Amino acid sequence: MLGEWIKAIVQWMLEWVQSWDRFWFTPRNSQTLAIIRIATGGMLTYTHIVLASDLMSFLGADAWIDPAAARSLHDGTYAPAEAVWSYLWSIDSPNVLWMHQAFAIVVSLMMMIGLVTRIAVPLAWFVQLMFVHRLTGALYGLDQVTTMLAMYLMITPCGSHYSVDAWIRRRWWKDSPQLKFWLPEDLPSVMSNVATRLAQLHLCTIYLFGGLWKARGQLWWDGTAMWFAAASYEYQSNDLTWIARYPLVFATLTHMTVFWETFYCVLIWPKRTRPVILLTAVMVHGGIAIYLGMITFGTMMIVANCIFLEPEWIKHLPGLGGVHRRSRQTPALEEA
């Protein structure tokens, strides 16, 4: 009897290990990551250009939060020290800051077009980290999402599709084994899968805690939160106050938002519910982009949700499949 119990437990553990292996280490194509690379690189380029339009107010010696004050927020002066560092705390020369800004824009552009991607993406992520640790106080969800996506993209061969790298490889160095890492072929990769899974779980965590936080509020329960979001003048970009006349509409939207955010982490995995959850994500974040003045954040959240799109589906989209004739199928990746 005891032997059977032990056998059953060992069998259960073996199955668990196999499921873990399948979930994390099944090679995956990189088309989805390539699309996300283009969008993230584009958004990083845009944020660096916008920052450049008022550079000294944010990074200069007399910035809103000057370099010394920014450092003091992290180095233990006023709170337990954080494991945070930025070389931008030590730079106050306008010339150096302008050169650095130009460098950041070029690196992000390289990430977007997929030029020397294996170097450009880690560099873009690192430069972005230096910015976010310097710009404490001026950041919001947009910066969290772009930094997160760049972090996962940098460990993948996301330059293998829709990139200058892919074009160079096809044209000149098709079969060069020496350049396999630098100009990755469009083959399924374990690292693409690891990064995809991490990004998916990260996104699930974001929504879960977003939903749990809302569930602590009173206005998300009594149905008026959506009205108060619409009534926030500083966020407003298009007038949504007409919704005040339709309590059934704003209350339903309020409850749906909490439900969708909280249960996103469960309902995004089954293939039957995934399209509904993704469509809701487009509507919620599209609404934030159009009405609540955060077009950049709304756009990047929609981009982040693309991580749940299968690469096989992406490559069949008009204009995205024909170029990459050699893409190969991975085995079925989803169990659900």
Partner 1 sequence: MALVPKSKLQSPGWRFVFSCLIIGHLWAIVARPLDFATQGPNGSSPASGAFYAPIRSYAEFAYMNHGYAFFAPDPGPSHLLRVTVRNGNGDSKTMLYPDREEQWPRLLYHRHFMLTEFLHTLYQAPLQFSELPDEVRGDVAMIEDWKMRRNRFEAIRDSMLRHLRVVYEGANVVMQRIEHRLVGLPEFLGERVRLNDSRLYVELLDGPPPTSELPRFGQPPGVGVRAESQR
Give, as ranges, the residues between 66 and 85 that touch partner 1 (CB under 8 A): 66, 69, 72-73, 77-79, 82-85
Residues 102-131 that bind partner 1 (CB under 8 A): 129
Contact flag: residue 223 with partner 1 (CB under 8 A): no
Interface of this chain with partner 1, residues 19 to 38, rule: CB under 8 A: 20-21, 24-25, 27
Q: DSSP characters for 29-71?
A: -SHHHHHHHHHHHHHHHHHHHHHHTTHHHHHSTT-SS-HHHHH
The reply on whether position 253 binds partner 1 by CB under 8 A is no
The backbone torsions φ and ψ at residue 326, rounded to the nearest 5 degrees and listed phi first, read -90, 0
Residue type, 270: P
Minimal distance in Å, beta carbon 25 to partner 1? 6
List the alpha helices (DSSP H) in 89-134: 94-113, 117-134
Q: How far is the CB of 50 from partner 1 (least distance, A)?
A: 5
The stretch near partner 1 (CB under 8 A) out of 31-39, 109-117, 138-146, 263-271 is 138-146
* Residue number, 115 or 230, with CB nearest to partner 1: 230
Torsion of CA 294, 297, 300, 305, to 10 degrees: -100
Min dist CB 103 to partner 1, Å, is 20
Sketch the per residue contact string, 48 through 67, with partner 1: x for CB under 8 A, - otherwise: --xx-xx--xx---xxxxx-
Q: In terms of C-beta density within 10 A (0-12 exposed, 13-18 middle, 19 or more buried), how is residue 320 classed?
A: middle
Give the residue, chosen from 256, 295, 306, 323, that forms a contact with partner 1 under the rule CB under 8 A: 295
Distance CA 142, CA 294 (A): 9
Output the CA torsion sign for 280, 286, 288, 291.
negative
Contact residue for partner 1 among 18, 19, 176, 205 (CB under 8 A): 205
Q: Is 188 in the site for partner 1 (CB under 8 A)?
A: yes
- For residue 125, give Cα distances in angstroms to 140, 220, 278, 302, 318: 17, 35, 26, 20, 30
E strand map for 244-291:
none
Nearest-approach distance from CB 274 to partner 1, in angstroms:
21
Say whether residue 231 binds partner 1 (CB under 8 A).
Answer: yes
For residues 11 and 57, which CB has a smaller minimum distance to partner 1 in the complex? 57
